[in-house]
Amino acid sequence: MMEEKLKFAVLGTGFWSDFQIKGWQEIEGVELVALCDPEGDKAEESAKRHGINRFYQDASALLENETLDFVDIISSIPSHAQLVRLAAKKGVHVICQKPMAEDFQTCKELVEVCQKAGVQFFIHENARFQLPIRACKDLIQNGEIGQPFKARLTFCSGFPVFENQPSLANLDQFIISDLGVHLLDTARFLFGEVEQIYCQTQKVNPKIKGEDVANILMRMQNGIDCFVEMSYASYLEKESFPQTLMLIEGDTGSMRLDHNHLLTLTQKGKGSSSWKVDPPVYAWADPDYALIHSSIVACNLNILSGLQGKGIGETSGADNLKTMELVFLSYDSAQHNQVMKPKHG
């Protein structure tokens, strides 16, 4: 017998939602039934672009009128909390874009609200689903570099992010909450939880509100030292947006993830070998973001398996709380020039 499709609505129809919707349309087992955006004709225009019949300006009206299994919240960061609460109250499962909320207290509250309402809560945190990052995790798990003791994750770019996403320029907290959240989650995915964290930030671009450079040093619970560096003020020989470059060292070897998804494995006594780990490129992807856009599909598939009870959705609200704690501890660390220790890891 054919399985019933899970019906869902998208809340928020800005720049990112087009790709998120296309990502869902790659996947069987779900049906997008309605869209909502409070701003002008945005929901109607998005509905036309994606062939969806029903659109709303008011999320409460949408939740009142539609029979849904879940919502995918792709709206502005300040609106996440209210929309998560609204959907949970209606007994609808929730997927919410990263970063979950503007402060840690609210993140904790949202996880609790969903738990109490008996609805599943996932964060669309897609970086850990990038194929080259998965390939590195496999190499670590297969023992190819022995016991890792040191890692560097680098995302330093001069890509004009504010052209496509102008709202990023107005965030009081910019690069760690928008981008660092991906890198910190990737570090947790690869190396486990964090013992302590120290961060320094800078604002180089005078036209934006928040910080655009952050350097974060973490000691992981298993003893690995992990340095995470990010910048949108870096004009480098090779522009690598939107790739996270990595160097991971273990006691019998190392791996380097380089530009154009080139992975190099070096093993003691055996030398080095390199190969490409290219992600699938979808026709609808923006070429500048193709790597991220392919990870949208992989992330959605994982969340869907969680919603259907077929597998474990890795990026549950409860799991993502640990990533969000690192985001806010990074800001605290930079503000007070202090090493911080997570409580929830």
What's the min distance (Å) between Cβ of 292 and ligand 89Y? 6
- Evaluate the omega torsion of the peptide bond into residue 132 and state whether it is cis, within 30 degrees of 0: no
Nearer to ligand 89Y, 165 or 264 (CB): 165
Walk across the sheet containing 93-97 and list its strands.
Answer: 54-56, 30-36, 6-11, 70-73, 93-97, 121-124
CA–CA distances in Å: residue 185 to residues 104, 307, 340? 15, 21, 17
Nearer to ligand 89Y, 149 or 289 (CB): 289
Nearer to ligand 89Y, 68 or 327 (CB): 327
d(CA 258, CA 152): 12
Residue of 292, 303, 307, 321 that binds ligand 89Y (CB under 6 A)? 292
Residue of 242, 253, 306, 313 that binds ligand 89Y (CB under 6 A)? 242
Nearer to ligand 89Y, 186 or 254 (CB): 186
What's the min distance (Å) between Cβ of 159 and ligand 89Y? 8
Q: With binding defined as CB under 6 A, does residue 229 bind ligand 89Y?
A: no
Q: Is 209 helix (H, G, I), strand (E, B) or coil?
A: coil
Nearer to ligand 89Y, 254 or 320 (CB): 320
d(CA 14, CA 100): 17
Max distance between CA atoms of the chain, in angstroms, equals: 65
- Contact code string over 111-150 relative to ligand 89Y, x by CB under 6 A: ----------------------------------------
Q: Are 327 and 181 in contact (CB under 8 A)?
A: yes
- Contact code string over 257-276 relative to ligand 89Y, x by CB under 6 A: --------------------
Residue 91: exposure state from Cβ atoms within 10 A (0-12, 13-18, ≥19): exposed
Q: Which residues contact 212 (CB under 8 A, 6 or more apart)?
A: 174, 175, 202, 203, 204, 205, 231, 232, 233
- Binders of ligand 89Y among residues 150 to 189 (CB under 6 A) are 161, 165, 178-179
Nearer to ligand 89Y, 178 or 325 (CB): 178
Residues that bind ligand 89Y (CB under 6 A): 161, 165, 178-179, 242, 292
